[in-house]
Amino acid sequence: MIAFAVLCVVFCAGVLVVGALGLRVRRAASVLSDGVARAAGGYQASSADLRERVRRGGAGT
């Protein structure tokens, strides 16, 4: 019975640790995403813009 209680405690502690690490990863990914968006100056090329550039300048330029 004691072994079962210890196993349950270890399992619950593992779930808490994995959950905490998941939250840290999501927060770090959000910060990184914001940094990339800020560095890019909010510029996002649409596929229509890219097709127009290829048509105008050729595929090699």
Q: Looking at residues 3-14, what average pLDDT do you find?
A: 97
| φ/ψ of residue 16, rounded to 5 | -65, -40
Name the pTM for this structure.
0.55
pLDDT tens across 31-59, in order?
998 888 888 775 666 677 777 777 776 65
Residue 42 pLDDT:
58
Give Cβ neighbours of residue 10 (< 8 Å, ≥ 6 apart).
none
DSSP code string of 32-60: HHHHHHHHTTT----HHHHHHHHHHH-TT
pLDDT tens across 19-29, in order?
999 999 999 99
**Chain center to CA of 4:** 37
pLDDT at 61 over 70: no
